[in-house]
Structure 1
C-alpha cells in the first residue's frame, strides 16, 4: 500500500488493523528496562496512553483510542512541511471535540506537531491541506505499519520474532483478528527464547494492547 505525500486519509488501513500491527511490534519489543525509561523511551511501545513510536531523532508518533470506534493518530516526521507552511495550516480544522485538544495545542505551541489524523465511524479524516503543501510526514512516519509486507518483515527479523515467513503471517493474522493468545505468541516466536527474562514485560504490553478479545 502506497502512502501519498502529503498523506490522504484513505492511505491508512482501518484503525483496528493499524492498532493491531503497531501493537504486535510493541509487544515483541517490550522490555522491563524500556518500561522504566519514562519520557526518555525510544522504539515502539504501548502504555496506558496508547501506542508510541520514537526513533530518538527523525520521527515520533502516538496512536490512541478515544472511546468505542474512535482513534487519534498524531506526531511528526522531519519530512513534514506542515508547521513551516505559509500561510499556516490549521491541523485541527474540522477536528471533533473528542480529540485530546489540550495535548495537541501544547504540541502546536511548541512547534512539535507535524500532522493529526482521526478515525470515527469506520473512516479516517484530517484537516484540509492547501495544494502547495508537499508532505505532512505520514509516509516516512507510519508507512512501516501501513504495508502488511513491511510489518511481516519487521516481526520476522532477528530483533523481533525471528520467525519463518509462515509463522510470522500466522502471528499477524491472529493479532489483526484480535485472537492472539499468550500461548500462541510464545509458541510461534521461537527466537524469543533468548529474551525469556523479558516475557513479563511482553505480557504486560500484550495486556495493554488488547490483542485478545472475548
Structure 2
C-alpha cells in the first residue's frame, strides 16, 4: 500500500464487502460487545485500535464509499486548516452523513467508487500519511491482512490457525458471490470452536449476515 494511500490500493467494493461482512460475522458471534455494526449507512468498525474507525457503504452496483480515520496515522489538517476530504465529490454521495462526519473531524480518508474505480481528493503536498493502512490494511491486495483479523476474533489456539484461515477464506468467497447460507455460517463458526468455551452466538451472526445480503 502506498503512503499516503492511493485509489488503486483498494480492492473492488464487492470484495471489500465480503471481507468486511466476514470479519463482522465472526466478531459478532464471539463478542457481545462487538465493534462492528450494520445499519442503513453501511457496515462500520467502531474501533480499529486507538479509537480508529472505518465505514463501508455500498449504495448500488456502481457506487460505494469507504471512509475512516486512524488517529495515529491520519493527517487531517494543513497548518491550522482542516482538510476538506469531500471537495469535488459527486452528487450521489450520502452528503448529510459525510458532512456530519467532517464536522466532527472524523476523517483521515474518504474514497468513493464510481465508473469502475476508486477516487479521492488530491491531497495537499503536506499530507504524508492518511491512515488507511493503519485503520484498514485489509482493503488492499494482501489477502493475509483480513484473514488475520478475522481469525483473531475466534481467540482460538494457535494450532487451529491454519484451518481457521482456510475456513474464513472459503466463507468470504461464498460471501462475495452472495451464496452463503445458514449452514455455511454455522460451519465457519464451528471451525474455531474449542471444548469448554461458550458456543458462538449463531443467531446474532445469522442476523448480521442476512441484513448484509450475503445469504441465499
Shorter-chain TM-score bucket reads 0.7 to 0.9
Partner of 2:110: 116
**2:48 matches 1:45:** no
Gap change, CA 1:49 and 1:84, over 3 Å in 2: same
Gap change, CA 1:110 and 1:157, over 3 Å in 2: closer
Partner of 1:18: 16
Secondary structure class of the residue paired with 2:36? strand
Partner of 1:199: 202
Partner of 2:87: 93
Secondary structure class of the residue paired with 2:98? helix
Partner of 1:138: 132
Match of 1:65 among 58, 70, 76: 58
1:178 and 1:210 in contact (8 A); partners too: yes
1:89 CA drift (Å): 3.0
Please give the TM-score of this superposition, normalised by the length of structure 2: 0.82
1:113 CA drift (Å): 1.9
Distance 1:158 1:127 in 2: 34
Gap change, CA 1:188 and 1:198, over 3 Å in 2: closer
Gaps of 5+ in 1: 35-40
Q: Residues 18-73 of structure 1: CA distance to partner in whole angstroms, max 9, x if unpaired?
A: 11101111111125985xxxxxx752332333111122733011111223321111
2:64 and 2:113 in contact (8 A); partners too: yes
Distance 1:91 1:153 in 2: 30
2:56 and 2:64 in contact (8 A); partners too: yes
Gap change, CA 1:132 and 1:28, over 3 Å in 2: same
Please give the TM-score of this superposition, normalised by the length of structure 1: 0.83
Q: Residues 137-194 of structure 1: CA distance to partner in whole angstroms, max 9, x if unpaired?
A: 1111111343311222233346268660433332222223322222122124322575
**2:145 matches 1:150:** yes
4+ residue runs over 6 A deviation: none
Counting helix residues as a fraction of each chain, which structure ranks higher? 1
Secondary structure class of the residue paired with 2:184? helix
